[in-house]
Amino acid sequence: MVIESKLRMSETQERTLPASKQRALFLDRDGVINEEVNYLVQWEHVRFVEGIFELCRTARGLGYRLIVVTNQAGIARGFYTEDDFHTLMEWMRGEFEREGCALDAVYYCPTHPEHGVGAYKRESIDRKPGPGMLLRGAAEFGVDLAASVFVGDRCTDVAAGNAAGVGKMFLLRGVEEAACEGDYEAVSSLDEVRRHLVLGE
């Protein structure tokens, strides 16, 4: 599933990086954009992770697309609806716009292979550790995955990023107690990711 922003990069910015060289900053949502809240559905409970807007403004200024990829098992389990999710994301996207770093797209997977209810109980390549959402974002925005960055906080994010061929994978410390399999760099803050973007230019 995808929610695309009506706000797109300017034609000048798009000409700066040809489609074959377009980069993206992929972001997990819970634990990376907002502090982890079990089955978040109300905007009043949103607490943005320190440094998220600074990171996104920097990435936007460097020509990166901003794309969210999020598993939403709460929908699968029947804790909230897709409409509830869309309402919350519209509010969150408004906050990003006000901060000067509008999101290009939000991809989400509402299914769960074990705990899903009804039609939501099924396997999906979109559900991380599957790479589906990353691959769709790359295809729809002409993104060069090898030149892109993904920030997550779980081993499933690492697995998805590696499977999709994302060039640089960051794992935000705090959730996983043991090391994840795969290729990634563990960081303690989003500012470390922001510095990587700047120094990598």
Active site residues: 28, 30
Local structure of residue 22 (DSSP, 8 states): B
> How is residue 75 written in tokens?
């929908």
Residue with tokens 């779980």: 154
> How is residue 165 written in tokens?
């061929």
Among 71, 59, 69, CA closest to 147: 59
Instruction: Report the residue count for the chain.
Output: 201
Alpha-carbon distance of 158 to 173, in angstroms, equals 12
Residue 126, number of CB atoms within 10 A of its CB: 22
Alpha-carbon distance of 37 to 14, in angstroms, equals 36
Alpha-carbon distance of 121 to 72, in angstroms, equals 12
Among 67, 53, 52, CA closest to 9: 67
